[in-house]
Amino acid sequence: MTAPLRVVVLGAGTVGREVVRALLERGDALRPADGAALELAGVTVRDLAKAVAGGIPEALLSDAPAHLVADPDVDVVVELMGGDEPARTLIAAALGAGKPVVTANKHVLAHHGAELEAIARRTGAALRFEAAVGGGIPVLTSLAADLASNEIERVRGIVNGTTNYILSAMASEGRAYADVLADAQRAGYAEADPSADVEGLDAVNKLVILARLAFGAWLDPAEIPNRNGGDPPGITGVTQADLAAAGESGLAIKLIAEAARGEAGAGDTIQAGVSSVALSQWSELAWIGGVTNCIEFDAVPLGRVGFTGPGAGGPATASAVLGDLLAIARGGGSTWAGLPEAGSGRVATLARKDSFDAPSGARYPVLP
Amino acid sequence: MTAPLRVVVLGAGTVGREVVRALLERGDALRPADGAALELAGVTVRDLAKAVAGGIPEALLSDAPAHLVADPDVDVVVELMGGDEPARTLIAAALGAGKPVVTANKHVLAHHGAELEAIARRTGAALRFEAAVGGGIPVLTSLAADLASNEIERVRGIVNGTTNYILSAMASEGRAYADVLADAQRAGYAEADPSADVEGLDAVNKLVILARLAFGAWLDPAEIPNRNGGDPPGITGVTQADLAAAGESGLAIKLIAEAARGEAGAGDTIQAGVSSVALSQWSELAWIGGVTNCIEFDAVPLGRVGFTGPGAGGPATASAVLGDLLAIARGGGSTWAGLPEAGSGRVATLARKDSFDAPSGARYPVLP
């Protein structure tokens, strides 16, 4: 019998609550047949009273995450606070102390991934982040481990559910951007300040993580364009008239994150970008509606593989976090699996041939 | 430095040749950063002269697979001979001797999976078989490991490329079954004796493997229906007129493998079947054309996730075999990961509500 792993969960928001509930209510079922049991040792929140009201046992709660991370009785840290600090420092501290970390924090990974990977490799602590891209779709582990014998030439997909929900509703219901955005905010699909989603910055963060695993380099998110040329960022310039005109031309407009290996001889250059693009209505990506995510890899010699599923939300994201915890309970390593240590890469603009000239004056690149 | 793992490949057909070539030509690139190197120690074939003519170095070749499996200098066995015996005995012998095995052999797994799993668990040797379902799509590892915190309620998909190619060509080109089958045989998409594919038995084997990982039981493939009621098996009764009439009703006819958890109180019963069914032209499965595979899981609490990609062919299947070899080089366990040991399950007929009455007189169940 292996001793149980004592897990602390930092943050009890939408995802954290689901993870905490699963560990409390399904702990026995979550024990791998060939690994250690997972025991919830603590939950840190900012507002203790609110967490107690939400049903988390008071004895587990703390508002001192750094204290729990440093506690020698804590074996594994699950970071679900989001944002930059203090998440970055807490993850670094846990890894530095040799403790495995599971996180869904795409911002921290995109901005400090190289630093955190270096610490994890130095101490041998696993850093797992399946939940950071594609919610519950097991896309990162598949890319890093199962497809490891391939060269990845291109990664592309719909990685932001909020913007896909807005574009889908605008296209199918003929409604205006501001109108649909307001509805999405009421329904909880968009945040009060929606800029990270609608301007494409969330998708940029996810693309940095995908590119790390696909191309072996941590890109600087600030270098990745989130718009076409001088157009408005993300989906903020997409009009209902643009969507209708695209539809009449057999095209759909989607916010696509895409990265491709640079041209031969271009050194460590990786083409990357997030923007609203036009694609054939007959392509799989055009069909992805609502908050669903879809991510495709062009792998050599394998060919194209695609992954579709719920890209956001508490239960879906918690599924990926719990999958990572189970991997750690089985002695598994980091999400980058057997890939070599990442280098750094420079971002180049994606090469595009055709464009769709929309009524608003925007020029949407047409994906082949 | 870990000592290299010495690998023998049994069989040098379409998939074996690709695996051998990768190990010979890309051996250095295939070394995981955190694991052992893979060294090709031997290749067994029936026809030595043909293998030499095919470019495999004579020094590596043997026509005595049992000898190599038993050789104490061999660490890992890759079984790519296909069929029942001697593959079953060779896999059992390797696992019994504590040697990890990678196989693409869906027949052996579907018919002797329980026996092989028991041996692997007894000796602690890993048995990996990602290539047995969905070719290069990383569907089994995702199901067993990444989705492990979920209850799987339903598995369904297009898991046989040959029949999907035939149905796609019949529907889009308005051609007759026999005509398209003859073409598929000429193009190498169908075998000279196509019965295992067109009668749905290959899909039944794959469904047994999916059900093992989804529902924790090895089903008896002989108990799984490969037809609707008294209709002809697999796709052998599908006529061009049926496809055309279905299309006019907004439906597509596909060969679907499906298994679902039995009704509450039904004990270890699992609903399972492979047959030609009608589904909405707006569903993802209806859109899968040609030899592509698509597999969907309904997981709770996650939701539906789908995997699409090349389900057959040498390079795609070799990608999955090499992914499994890399996992073994990193010390990874069996494809069933942390799942509990399988029990046995009884097969019940899939509950269906609606049917599409086709011109041929066949009644195709309509998938919801």
The angle formed by the CA atoms of residues A108, A208 and A303, to the nearest 5 degrees, is 140
Give A328→chain B minimum CA distance, Å.
Answer: 11
| % of chain A at pLDDT higher than 90 | 90
If one counts every other C-beta atom within 10 angstroms of the C-beta of residue A176, the result is 12
Give B208→chain A minimum CA distance, Å.
Answer: 21
Contacts 24+ apart (CB under 8 A), B354-358: B355/B278, B356/B246, B356/B249, B356/B251, B356/B278, B358/B239, B358/B241, B358/B242, B358/B245, B358/B246
CA dihedral A273, A275, A281, A287 (to 10 degrees): 90
Return the closest-CA partner of residue A275 out of A228, A215, A212, A342: A228
Q: Which of residues 6-35 of B touch A (CB under 8 A)?
A: 18, 22, 26, 30, 32-35
Check if the beta carbon of residue B156 is closer than 8 Å to that of residue B261. Answer: no
CB contact under 8 A, A320 and B145: no
Check if the beta carbon of residue B286 is closer than 8 Å to that of residue B280. Answer: yes
Q: Which of residues 342-361 of B touch A (CB under 8 A)?
A: none
A149: DSSP letter: T
Confidence of residue A196 (pLDDT cuts 50, 70, 90): very high
If one counts every other C-beta atom within 10 angstroms of the C-beta of residue A193, the result is 9
Which residue did the predictor score with more confidence, A343 or B278?
Answer: B278
| % of chain A at pLDDT higher than 70 | 99
Check if the beta carbon of residue B249 is closer than 8 Å to that of residue B243. Answer: no
- pLDDT for residue A200 is more than 90: yes
Give A204→chain B minimum CA distance, Å.
Answer: 23
Q: Is-cis flag, bond preceding B225, omega within 30?
A: no
| Tokens (6 digits) for B107 | 């027949």
CB contact under 8 A, B338 and A34: yes
A130-164 per-position pLDDT tens digit: 999 999 999 999 999 999 999 999 999 999 999 99
CB pairs under 8 A between A and B: 165
Assess A53–B contact: CB distance below 8 Å, yes or no. Answer: no
H-run or E-run covering A179: helix A177-187
Residues of A in contact with B340 (CB under 8 A): 33
> What pLDDT sits at residue B262?
78
Pick the residue of A5, A123, A149, A280 with the most B CBs within 10 A to test the interface with B by mutation: A149
Give A34→chain B minimum CA distance, Å.
Answer: 5
Q: Which amino acid is at B192?
A: A
A160-194 per-position pLDDT tens digit: 999 999 999 999 999 999 999 999 899 888 888 99
Q: Tell me which of A106, A206, A254, A353 is the catalytic residue.
A: A206
CB contact under 8 A, B33 and A302: no
3-state secondary structure of A51: helix
Residues of B in contact with A129 (CB under 8 A): none
Assess A149–B contact: CB distance below 8 Å, yes or no. Answer: yes
- The number of residues in chain B equals 368
| Tokens (6 digits) for A33 | 């047949």
| Tokens (6 digits) for A223 | 């270098």
Across chain B, what does the average pLDDT equal?
95
Assess A142–B contact: CB distance below 8 Å, yes or no. Answer: yes
Would you say the ipTM is above 0.90?
yes
Picking from B18, B146, B303, the nearest residue to A141 by CB comes out as: B146
CB contact under 8 A, B150 and A319: yes
Give A129→chain B minimum CA distance, Å.
Answer: 12
Pick the residue of B305, B324, B335, B339 with the most A CBs within 10 A to test the interface with A by mutation: B305
Check if the beta carbon of residue A346 is closer than 8 Å to that of residue A340. Answer: no
CB contact under 8 A, A304 and B287: no
> In sequence order, what DSSP letters do the residues of B9-73 get, joined into one string?
EE--SHHHHHHHHHHHHSTTTTS-TTS--EEEEEEE-S-HHHHHHTT--GGGEES-HHHHHH-TT
> What pLDDT sits at residue B324?
98
Residues of A in contact with B337 (CB under 8 A): 32, 34, 330
Assess B318–A contact: CB distance below 8 Å, yes or no. Answer: yes
Residue of B nearest to A336 (CA): B33
How far apart are alpha carbons A143 and A235 in whole angstroms?
27
Q: How far apart are the first and last CA of chain B?
A: 55
CB contact under 8 A, A316 and B308: no
> What pLDDT sits at residue B149?
96
Check if the beta carbon of residue A7 is closer than 8 Å to that of residue A71. Answer: no
| Tokens (6 digits) for A197 | 């989603």
Picking from A18, A147, A338, the nearest residue to B319 by CB comes out as: A147
Cα–Cα separations (whole angstroms), residue B22 to A77, B27, B28, B266:
39, 7, 10, 47
> What pLDDT sits at residue A312?
87
For chain B, residues with pLDDT lower than 70 are 1, 264-267
Assess A335–B contact: CB distance below 8 Å, yes or no. Answer: no
Q: Tell me which of B99, B206, B254, B353 is the catalytic residue.
A: B206
If one counts every other C-beta atom within 10 angstroms of the C-beta of residue B347, the result is 22
Longest dimension (CA), chain B: 67
A69-122 per-position pLDDT tens digit: 999 999 999 999 999 999 999 999 999 999 999 999 999 999 999 999 999 999
Give A314→chain B minimum CA distance, Å.
Answer: 9
| Tokens (6 digits) for A341 | 């240590």
How far apart are alpha carbons A38 and A26 in whole angstroms?
10
pTM here?
0.97
The reply to whether A99 belongs to the active site is no
